[in-house]
Homo-oligomer: A and B are copies of this chain.
Amino acid sequence: MDNRRLIIDSAKELFWHHGYSTTSPKQVMVDAGVGQGSFYHHFPAKADLGQEVVRENGRDLLASVRSAMEGLPTGRQRLAAFLGSAGDALGGCQIGGFAYDAGILAEPALRETLGTAFVELAGLLEQVVREGQDDGSVSPKLDPAKTAAALLAVVEGAFVVARATGRQSYADAATAGALALLEATS
């Protein structure tokens, strides 16, 4: 099981920063320091590894968002913490890049896993918007699901624009702008 974990951990980083389709099994083997025989023993096809990576990166992202929000007293502060997760945008979102990866989209199982990760993240944010409305930090006039979708999109879009321009400042501007809109309504 040790090599299996080394492979997954390497692939998580490589697929994240370099893309799934554009990273070869060989690159993963080299990075993980395992041989070809070991690789194909644990993952008969590249897509099997992709499945684990998409699932784990989705879970890691959800966990890190929860962790960033933890202990903050108001819903709005927790949403602000989520917006802050685009604070290192040049590396790309752990799962956002998969949405434009033909190799992921072509495999129904990978696509399904990816979609589930986003649905869960959207669900978490919607819940936090509701909590913010309950504690008075978010305007009760806002639709929770739509507001959550907008905030999730801001963060995903911040990653896109930051990577495209090579400038983190665009991500910072986007999240600051979104936070200002949220605060102006409350």
Residues of A within 8 A of B (CB): 18-19, 21-23, 92-93, 95-103, 105, 111, 114-115, 117-119, 122, 139, 141-143, 145-161, 163-167, 170-171, 173-178, 180-182, 184-185
Contacts and interface: CB of A to CB of B under 8 A. Distances in A.
Contact of A155 (B93, B157, B165): B157
Number of copies: 2
Contact of A160 (B96, B102, B105, B167): B96
Contacts of A98: 164
Contact of A100 (B119, B157, B160, B165): B160
Contact of A184 (B23, B142, B161, B180): B142
B118 A164 contact: yes
Nearest to A19: B102
A126 to B, nearest CB: 10
Nearest to A115: B165
A157 B164 contact: no
A164 to B, nearest CB: 4
A180 B119 CA distance: 21
